[in-house]
Each structure stands twice: as C-alpha cells, then as structure tokens.
Amino acid sequence: MKQKLMGLNGDEAAAYATKQVDPDVVAAYPITPQTIIVERFSEYVADGLVHSEFVPVESEHSALSSCVGAAAAGARAYTATAANGLALMWEMTYITSGLRLPIVMSVANRALSAPLNIHNDHSDSMGARDSGWIQIYCENSQEVYDAHVEAWRIAEHEDVLLPVMICFDGYTISHTMENVMTLPDEDVKGFVGKRKFIKVQGHLGEAELRLDPGCPISMGPVDLQDFYFEHKVHQMDAMEKALKVIPAVDKEYGVLSGRKYGHVNPHRMDDAEVAILGLGSVMGTAREVVNELRAEGIKAGMVKLRTFRPFPTDDLIKAIGDVPALGVVEKDLSFGAAGSPLYEDVRAVFYDAGSKPLIANYAHGLGGRDTSMAMIRGIYEDLLKIKKNGRVEKTMNYVGLRE
Amino acid sequence: MSQITLKDMAAKPDLLCPGARLCAGCDESIIVRMVLKATRGPTIVTNATGCLEVATSIFPYTSWDLPWIHSAFENTAATASGIEAAYKAMRKRGEGPLAKYPQLDVIAFAGDGGTYDIGLQALSGAMERGHDFTYVLLDNEAYMNTGIQRSGGTPFTAATTTSPAGQVIPGKLEWKKPIDDIVIAHAIPFTATINAAWPLDVMKKARKAFEIEGPAFLHAITPCARGWRYPPEKTIAVSRLVVQTCVLPLYECRQEGGDVVYELSAPSLAVAKRPESKKPVEEYLQVQGRFRHLFRPERREDLLKAIQEGVDKRWSILLKKAGL
C-alpha cells in the first residue's frame, strides 16, 4: 500500500489525520499552540473536503460540551485544546468519561498560567490524569498522525468506551515541520470503520447507548449512594481493558502502516546500568544521548512511555528490567507532593516489584525551557553517581534551573 | 404553522411521565409536559442541572419517555449545539443513526440560574451560531434546587436565602435581568414568553419554536411554592397574576425581513385593550411570602411604589414595541 510522505507539523498532522477520519462533529476553540488544528480543519470544511459539522464554539467548556452532545447523539466528535483551555474543560473531562463517550481530543501541551506562558510543559494534561481519559503521549509528528488514526478504534471499542486524549508538546511538536508518512484516505476510513453502539438495558428494554428517538434512554442522570460507586468502578474496569485493547489496535495498525508503538518503547535497555524514563518529545533527544553514551562505553538506556493512562504497570516493569538507577524525567510539578506525577506512579508500581531500581525525579523544561543534550547527559552522570553510591541523595532535581 | 388543538394535545401521551420527585405544586413539570405535547416527532432533550433534572432522573429511574441527556449546569445550549450539529452532519452524509429522520426537535431545558447566570455565555454562543434548537427557560426566579438562593432572575426585593430580608436590607436590591431583551438582541428568529395558566398558548408557541429554522427561546415563568412561599395549590393562580399584573406579559417576538416584530399574545393583548383591567402588582406580591417584608411589620410604600413603577415602565416599553 502506497503511503504519502508529507511535510507536517504536529498540529497539521493531527488535523490531517482527523480530516481522513472525517468525524461528524468538530467543536473547538482557538488556543495557542493548538490553533493550527482548528484553522486547518476549518479550511477542510470550507473546501468541502470533509462532511464534518464544524462548531466554532465560544469557549473550551462549550467545545467539550458540544462534543458530549454530539457523541451522545451517536456522532463521532473531536476537539483540540491546550493549557488553560483544558483547565476550563476540567468539569467536562470527568463528565465525558463518566458518560462513557468515545470523544477524541488533541492536547498541544502547554504550561498552565500563572504566570502566563504559551510554551510547552505537561502541567495541563497531568492535571487531567485522574479524569478518566486515556492519555497517549507522542514523540514526534509521525506519532501524532498515527495516534489520531488509532485513537477512535481504542475509544469506541466495546470493552473501553472512554475518551482519548492525544498529548504532544506545544511548539516542539505542534509547530515543527517533520516528514510524516500518511495513509491513503480509504485506508484510514477502512481502519476506523463506523461507530458502533453497545446495548444497554433501558426503561423500554434493550437499547443502544445513545440518544435514540426510536428507543429512548436517559443519559447523565442523578446517581447517588446506591449506584455511583459501581459506575466509577466500571470506569476502572474499562481502563484495565484498555491496557489490552490499545496494543491490539496498535498491532492491527502496524500491519496496515508498518508502524507500531506499544505502551512503552525501550531503547538499549538490555544491559543498561542507568536509564531514564519519560514522555513526549524529549525522549527523542534522550535517544541521541543514549547512543552517544553507548559509543563512549557507558551502559545507558531509556524507556519512552507512550500510554500514561491506563498506566501500563507490567510493560513498564518489564521494560525497566533490573537497571540499577532510573531517572524519571518530566515536565511538570505536583506542588507539595512527594514527587511529580510520573515519578510517583513509577515509584508506586515498583514497590511490589521483585527488583527495584534507585529512582530519582528530574523536573525539566517547564514553561518551554529547552532541555539540551548536555542537560540529559547531566542526568545520566547523576544517575551513575547514584548507582555508585547505592542511594538517592536528592529525590527532586530541577534540570536547567537558573542558579 | 401546523394546527394545535387542546383536544389533540390532551389525547397525546405525556412524554414526561408521572411519578417524578418534583415538589407538590411545581410549575416546571406542567410547562415541560405542555412543551413536549407540541413536539412533532423525533425529539432529543437536554437538561441543565437543576430541580427538573434531579427530580426526574434518579438512577435507575427516569421520568423521560424520550431521549434525554444531562451533562452539566452551564452548558445546556452548548450540549444542544452538539446534538444539532450531529444531526445535521448525519443528514448531510446520509449516514449515522439520526440520518433517517427528516426532522428532529432539539430542546434544551434550563432554569434561571442556568440561563441568566452561569449558562448565559453558552446560550449566547449557541444563538449567535444559529443552531436549530428550542431553549426553554424555566424561570422560578432563584436557585431553588440548592435551596432558594438569589439569581440574576430574582426580582427586586424578593427574599431568598442569599438575599434575605433583614433589618437593614429588604431582600434583593437589584432588578431582574432583562433576559428576553438580551436574547432578542441576538436577532434569533423566535422569542416568546409562556405561562402554564394558558396551556394552548404554551403549546402553540412551542410548536412554532420547533417549526422555525434556527434558535428559538421560550421564557416560562414557573412559580415555585417552596421558594415563593405560597400554598402549592395556588401555582396556577399565582402564574395567572404574573400576566394580569404585567410583571411578565405574554408576547412573542419574531424577526421578519430584517424587522423585529413584537406581538402581544391574547391574555396580555386583552390587558392592553382594557388598561383598567391591569391589576396592581401588589395583588401579586401579597400572595407570596418572599415579599412579606414589603407589607409587615409595616408597609414599605417606597418599595411597593418602585416595583409598580418598574412594572409600568417595562409594560409601556413593550406596548410601544408592539405598536400599541
């Protein structure tokens, strides 16, 4: 099958894949650095290249609310946002997952205010980590494109029925043009197929889980002490099932495109003595550093985490293996917590693991500060010291902070 | 407009079923049932958080015999936008579960809190974008679901739990927000006030709202026995006084060829033709405990006068707009 090489930045890759998917409703509000997505998509609509209804809403809260209405009515619905826009959606993120609506959303990760900053870090999507959305983090525009094709199959899978948030670094990915291999339209359409609906027990008997005038159900009712808990645990079960569905969809996509990712992507971990684990674009830089260090005889490795929610515990423990010292690098802080979100999750899953590495937390890149190869090299040097000393002196380390 | 008769409507089954947990004497269920009687066929309802939502949907029960969704408080118009957009997209593509319906009535129900206050932005956006849906404001003039707190729709001097009538402050000091003027300023094709004391008028206006292309806004005054402090069996009597005193007259407003056309509905037109039949606002105020402090321990002539002048002023402006 013939794929087309295109020059696309991350936002354009998201918009192009979504054009190929041709969802029924796209409701979105402009916010840097996501705006290119809504601009491109508006052009597709204006040129008649999609069937989608574009709803140019008056806020991000309404963007997701519109998508909720559309998806509940049986449509495929898509939106995109970043930073404060995602923060404004906060209420609706929980409502989307609680209503089990398979909406797909792009997040061009950007720092949260205050102070105002339009550049990249992960404070926005990390704030939504408990909202019941599947979160996939992309390293480059190619991954952005691929994730935007795969996401629908994951979200709409009958075992899952959860919204998917595709996260990619603002500017670093959203505005940086890269070569992207794209599938023909018909292959994308064939892959995503048509949206299907599960059967539920409605007040008139068996009904499809949607707003169906032919067989009505009530969605989003009051749900009190007697059932709310069970419904929340259903979401936990769906996340658990998503751990299996994501790789299954990825495998199928791999057959179609020749590209597959898995929950985690280890690089040179087999005999690694020091490794870093992280999300997103910085892992591309880390890979270069690992290769340099290896050439110098240092046994460095790295693990890129692609799926953050659901958290792929088993895959992660396997990928980390018995590396003695692990640095968790992340572009976010959890003020007053024992560590940043990813660090805390990683520490937690290793508590019961047979062998556990010494683990340190490296916060970097906040507000878009560049993380250079030299800085990453510095992290590996620190990890080598930790390995040598057999203990972590300092849990939280700020990389690239002004003295 | 297609014909609506009381006989036909009475024969049509209720789409909001009996057994809901709304209070005795609640006006909301009366209005909602009338509005739903006027639907033409396939209908989807979205409902803001509020009395109506919590009292009709306690899982695993529902009072709604049509597809119904509640998602949040401030976003009813946005949710309706999405439903309408989904329908349009499916029609256009000729594919998807709603594609087979030649028409779909999309209705949004929200209270005064969800309309005057927290939901105004979403409503404004949806009207500006021109979605084909009917927004029904159930205006009981306070946040009744959380226990009678003042809203932008609460009238001047009304006592609520956050605008209590105290030793110094006589209830709410601000006037009711002119929501209909705000809505009409969006130049939507159809805006109307409705009142459960005139069922046929409610159903005719609702049908018109469904038939018109684009956004339609129905402002229902929905007296609340608990919040307004009157006996529950008096709901319709109180509702009727709203019109008889011209506190909220019955009228509709249409955009016709670039003109804004105001038309008084029969009950208010009758008052306009016989001005002596217009009842003093005091008759309306004195049956409600929320205005008790205007009469006891002493008559607040200053406030009663201000309220009457406010009503008269708004009524005369409306008459002018209606060319009367």
Tallying the residues shown for chain A, one arrives at 403
Instruction: Respond yes or no on whether the N-terminal peptide bond of residue A357 is cis (omega within 30° of 0).
Output: no
Helices marked H in B175-300: 179-184, 199-211, 225-228, 235-244, 266-273, 281-285
Asked if residue B190 has pLDDT above 90, the reply is yes
Give the rounded percent of residues in chain A with a pLDDT score beyond 90.
98
Answer whether the bond into residue B67 is a cis peptide, omega within 30°.
no
Alpha helices in A55-203 (DSSP H): 60-72, 83-88, 90-98, 123-126, 141-156, 185-192
Question: What is the rounded (10 degree) CA torsion for B99, B105, B106, B109?
Answer: -160
Look at residue B183 and tell me whether its pLDDT is greater than 70: yes
Structure tokens given for B23: 């209070």
The predicted pLDDT at position A1 comes to: 67
Q: Tell me how many degrees the CA angle A171-A175-A181 measures, rounded to the nearest 5.
A: 125
Q: What angle do CA B245, B251, B252 make, to 5 degrees?
A: 165
Q: Are B135 and B218 in contact (CB under 8 A)?
A: yes
The span from the CA of A323 to the CA of A314, in Å, is: 15
Strand B190-195 to B216-221 pairing:
parallel
ipTM of the complex: 0.97
A45 contacts chain B (CB < 8 A): no
Please check whether residue A184 touches B, CB under 8 A: no
**What is chain A's mean pLDDT, rounded?**
97
**A141 in reach of chain B (CB within 8 A):** no
Residue B315 confidence (pLDDT) above 70: yes
Q: CB of B133 within 8 Å of any CB in chain A? A: no
User: Do A341 and A329 contact (CB within 8 A), yes or no?
Assistant: no
In whole angstroms, give the CA distance from residue B67 to residue B46: 9
| Euclidean distance between CA atoms A361 and A325, whole angstroms | 11
Report, as an integer, the average pLDDT of A288-297. 98
The phi and psi torsions of B61 (rounded to 5 degrees) equal: -100, 155
Is B89's Cβ below 8 Å from some Cβ in A?
yes
* Average confidence (pLDDT) over A11-23: 98
pLDDT at B1 over 70: no
B99 to A35, B85, B211: CA distances (angstroms): 31, 12, 19
Give the helix/strand (H/E) hosting B216.
strand B216-221
Cα separation, A299 vs A320, whole angstroms: 14
Residues B171-203: b if buried by 16+ CB within 10 A, e if exposed: bbeeebbebbebbbebebbbbbbbbbbbbebbb
pLDDT digits (tens, 9 = 90+) for B220-236: 999 999 999 999 999 99
Contact A81, A57 (CB under 8 A): no
Number of H helices, E strands in chain A: 13, 18
Considering only the beta carbons, identify the residue of B66, B75, B88 that sits closest to A216: B66
Q: What is the rounded CA–CA span in Å between residue A280 and residue A301?
A: 16
A264-399 matches A4-197+238-256 in CATH topology:
yes
Chain B residue numbers with beta carbons less than 8 Å from the beta carbon of A222 are 53-54, 57-59
Domain B6-321: CATH class, spelled out: alpha beta
- Enter the tokens of residue A31: 């916010």
Please state, in angstroms and rounded to a whole number, the distance separating the CA atoms of residues B222 and B239.
7
**Chain B residues closer than 8 Å to A67 by CB:** 82
Number of Cβ within 10 Å of residue A188's Cβ equals 23
Q: What are phi and psi of B247, to 5 degrees?
A: -65, -45
Write out residues 42-81 of B within 8 Å (CB-CB) of A.
42-44, 46, 53-54, 57-60, 62, 64-72, 74-75, 77-81
Q: Give yes or no for B201 touching A (CB within 8 A).
A: no
pTM of the model: 0.98
Question: Which one of 2.170.130.10, 3.40.50.920, 3.40.190.10, 3.40.50.970 gives the CATH number of domain A264-399?
Answer: 3.40.50.920
> Are the Cβ atoms of B62 and A58 closer than 8 angstroms?
no
The per-residue pLDDT for range A213-253, each reduced to its tens digit, is 999 999 999 999 999 999 999 999 999 999 999 999 999 99
Q: Among all residues of chain B, which has the CA nearest to that of A50? A: B93
Q: Where are the domains of chain B?
A: 6-321
CA distance A146 to A253: 8
Give contacts of A 97-136 with B, CB under 8 A: 99
Task: Name the residue among B86, B101, B129 with its Cβ closest to that of A24.
Answer: B86
Contact state of B129 with A56 under an 8 Å Cβ cutoff: yes
Query: Rounded to a whole number, what is the distance in angstroms from the first to the last CA of chain B?
Result: 25
**Which amino acid is located at B296 in the chain?**
R
Residues in A closer than 8 angstroms to B101, CB to CB, are 213
Can you give the pLDDT at residue A354? Answer: 87
**SS3 per residue for A24-55:** CEEECCCCCCCHHHHHHHHHHHHCCCCCCEEE
Strands of A104-109's sheet, edge to edge? A53-55, A25-27, A77-81, A104-109, A164-169, A134-137, A307-309
Q: Which residues of B touch A98 (CB under 8 A)?
A: none
Res A204: pLDDT? 86
| Whether pLDDT at B253 is above 90 | yes
Mean of the pLDDT values across residues A11-37? 98
Q: How confident is the model at residue B258 (pLDDT cuts 50, 70, 90)?
A: confident
Q: Grade residue A169 by pLDDT with cuts at 50, 70 and 90.
A: very high
The residue type found at B295 is F
Residues in A closer than 8 angstroms to B82, CB to CB, are 25, 27, 55, 65-73, 75, 77
Angle between helices A60-72 and B76-93 (to 10 degrees): 50
A353-401 residue pLDDT tens: 988 999 999 999 999 999 999 999 999 999 999 999 999 999 999 999 9
| Cβ pairs A/B, distance under 8 A | 184
Cis peptide preceding B297, ω within 30 of 0: yes
Domain A4-197+238-256: CATH class, spelled out = alpha beta
Q: What is the pLDDT of residue A403?
A: 87
Instruction: Give the strand order in the sheet containing B105-111.
Output: A218-219, B68-69, B43-47, B105-111, B134-139, B216-221, B190-195, B251-256, B259-264
Which residues, in sequence order, are CB contacts of B315 under 8 Å at separation 6+? B246, B249, B278
Torsion of CA B144, B148, B151, B156, to 10 degrees: 130
**Contact B17/A at CB under 8 A:** no
Question: Which one-letter DSSP state was computed for residue B185?
Answer: T
Domain boundaries, chain A: 4-197+238-256, 264-399
Q: What is the model's pLDDT at position A384?
A: 98
Place of tokens 């997952």: A97
With DSSP H G I counted as helix, E B as strand and the rest as coil, what are the percentages for chain B, rounded to 5?
40, 15, 45
Helix H or strand E encompassing B37 = helix B27-37
Residue A160 structure tokens:
């899952």
B2 pLDDT exceeds 90? no
Instruction: Give the tens place of pLDDT for each residue, B169-178.
Output: 999 999 999 9
Region A330-344: what's the mean pLDDT?
Answer: 97
Q: Which of A84, A289, A240 is nearest to A170 (CA)?
A: A84
Please tell me whether the peptide bond between A114 and the residue prior to it is cis, using omega within 30 degrees of 0: yes
User: In terms of pLDDT, which residue wins out, A161 or A204?
Assistant: A161
CA end-to-end span of chain A? 54
Quick one: pLDDT band at residue A202, thresholds 50, 70, 90?
confident
Condensed to tens digits (0 to 9), the pLDDT of residues B23-57 reads 999 999 999 999 999 999 999 999 999 999 999 99
